[in-house]
Amino acid sequence: MMNESFSWILDRLPYSEPFLFVDKLLQLDDDGVEGLYTFKEDAGFYTGHFKNNPVTPGVLLTECCAQIGLVCLGIHLLEKDTMFDDLLIGMSSSQMEFLLPVFPDECVRVVSELVYFRFQKLKCNVKMYNEEDKLVCKGTLAGMISITNE
């Protein structure tokens, strides 16, 4: 699915501000997803990380990769089979390598490629790029995804 509105997926995300790290999905199909997020300059975590040179914490870069690369893809894959009311997610593993910093007000692009989705476990290889298309971080994320129908 290219150049299509993915608002139905964003509406199903189990996150809200200030812990929502997905602005827009650019591409989504059964093999992967690509999306954007801008780390807002006024986000509270920048105040203390680091005092005179704020940098986005690696744990939040990982979370952004997981929300776009794992959860959005998982919603798409589950939606193919059934309608659902609540999404239950648990990250089971993350292995990330950080290469460049992300600064306040910087937009990043996350690209995720499906490794496998079976027995409610989703595993993906993710890469995050900055506005200059330089690789910021990369790794493998896995999580358990299930649904409830009410």
Which one, of 75, 134, 74, 124, lies nearest residue 102 by Cα? 134
Token pair recorded at residue 140: 């493998």
Would you call 76 a catalytic residue per the annotation?
Answer: no
Q: What are phi and psi of 17, to 5 degrees?
A: -55, 140
- Omega of the bond prior to 18 within 30 degrees of 0, cis? yes
Single-letter residue type at 141:
L
The residue ranges of DSSP E strands in the chain, in sequence order, are: 24-29, 32-39, 86-98, 106-118, 121-129, 135-148
Handedness of CA 86, 39, 36, 66 (dihedral sign): negative
The single-letter DSSP state of residue 100 is: S
| Cβ(144)–Cβ(89) below 8 Å | yes
Residue from 24, 49, 123, 138 carrying the catalytic annotation:
49
The single-letter DSSP state of residue 3 is: S
As annotated, the active-site residues are 49
